[in-house]
């Protein structure tokens, strides 16, 4: 049975090497700077470091020449409906080779509440009593079932006459078997969590300010009941990722050697006392 999904009027956008995914490229973008957050791979999982207070978005770029459905969840919550995330829920339909920037929790066909990195205790998941999956972004991708085209076969004239059929029809529609695509259990299994504990409270995603964002309803008939691909990106603060060993710690900065150590430095107007 067909269900209504959200379609977007959008323009294809370029994706750089920081993208994750096969059927579609997924990037996390810092909306305050416009930069794509670097992706770190550790123990089979992808991570990004978020800055507390910064707004962010999820950029999904369809890499196929056909429509895709992207069911998207943040902290285990569907970004369109607000339900606890599940594959059978609403998602965004991307046209062939199109991209869309998901900027927040959808409030209506014309408005969202912006995603922003915040402490786990102030996250939307915590505030709605669902803190178990804070710190993860997921995109489940579905292919569309092709429209069924009737196929015909010629009837045996003698068999038709012997059966007493009086119709002048020379053909009948042949039924088609549904095409179902399966996903291996290994792809469905989640990666093991990191054993080290972060020293500070982890990041979550807040329910930020309202912004205009327009979509329209469309129809999408899934080719299969399970996703063809699941893209999972975990996130936390940079300091926590360093503490967990996801990101190598930054070495302390030291001034380089001076080729003229005894030379007099140029003189400029000094600051007044006290700065």
**Closest C-alpha among 98, 136, 96 to residue 230:** 136
Cα distances (angstroms) measured from residue 63 to each of 23, 67, 97: 6, 10, 5
Q: Are strands 45-50 and 229-237 parallel, antiparallel or unpaired?
A: parallel
Q: Could you report how far apart the first and last alpha carbons of the chain are, in Å?
A: 71
Beta bridge partners, 4, equal 219
- Residue 197 pLDDT: 52
Residue ranges in the chain modelled with pLDDT below 50 = 1-4, 9-17, 159-160, 163-196, 198
pLDDT at 192: 36
- Residues near 55 by Cβ (< 8 Å), separated by ≥ 6? 30, 31, 32, 103, 114, 115, 116, 208
**3-state DSSP assignment of residue 138:** strand
The half-sphere exposure of 206 on its side-chain side, counting CA atoms within 13 A, is 17
Q: What is the pLDDT of residue 112?
A: 96
The residue among 7, 5, 55 whose CA lies nearest residue 35 is 55
DSSP characters over 85-127: P-TTS--EEE-TT-EEEE-EEEEETTEEEEEEEEEGGGSHHHH
Q: For position 156, what pLDDT does the model report? A: 57
- The per-residue pLDDT for 24 is 94
**Exposure string (b/e) for 185-207, b if CB count within 10 Å is 16 or more?**
eeeeeeeeebeeebeeebbbbbb
What phi and psi, each to the nearest 5 degrees, are found at residue 153? -135, 145
What pLDDT, on the 0 to 100 scale, is given for residue 5? Answer: 57
């Amino acid at each position: 049975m067909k269900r209504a999904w959200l379609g977007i009027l959008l323009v294809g956008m370029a994706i750089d090497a920081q993208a994750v995914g096969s059927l579609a490229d997924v990037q996390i973008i810092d909306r305050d700077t416009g930069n794509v957050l670097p992706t770190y791979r550790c123990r089979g999982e992808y991570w990004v470091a978020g800055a507390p207070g910064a707004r962010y978005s999820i950029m999904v770029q369809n890499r196929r020449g056909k429509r895709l459905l992207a069911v998207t969840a943040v902290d285990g919550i569907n970004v369109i409906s607000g339900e606890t995330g599940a594959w059978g829920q609403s998602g965004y339909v991307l046209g062939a080779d199109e991209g869309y920037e998901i900027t927040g929790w959808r409030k209506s066909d014309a408005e969202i509440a912006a995603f922003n990195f915040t402490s786990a205790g102030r996250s939307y998941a915590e505030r709605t009593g669902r803190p178990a999956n804070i710190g993860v972004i997921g995109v489940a991708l579905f292919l569309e079932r092709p429209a069924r085209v009737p196929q015909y076969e010629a009837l045996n004239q003698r068999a038709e006459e012997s059966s007493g059929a009086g119709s002048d029809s020379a053909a009948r529609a042949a039924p088609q078997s549904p095409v179902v695509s399966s996903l291996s259990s290994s792809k469905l299994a989640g990666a093991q969590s990191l054993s080290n504990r972060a020293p500070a409270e982890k990041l979550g995603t807040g329910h930020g300010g309202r912004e205009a964002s327009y979509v329209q309803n469309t129809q999408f008939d899934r080719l299969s009941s399970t996703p063809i691909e699941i893209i999972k990106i975990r996130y936390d603060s940079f300091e926590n990722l360093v503490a967990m060993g996801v990101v190598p710690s930054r070495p302390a900065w030291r001034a380089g050697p001076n080729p003229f150590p005894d030379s007099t430095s140029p003189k400029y107007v000094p600051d007044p006392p006290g700065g």
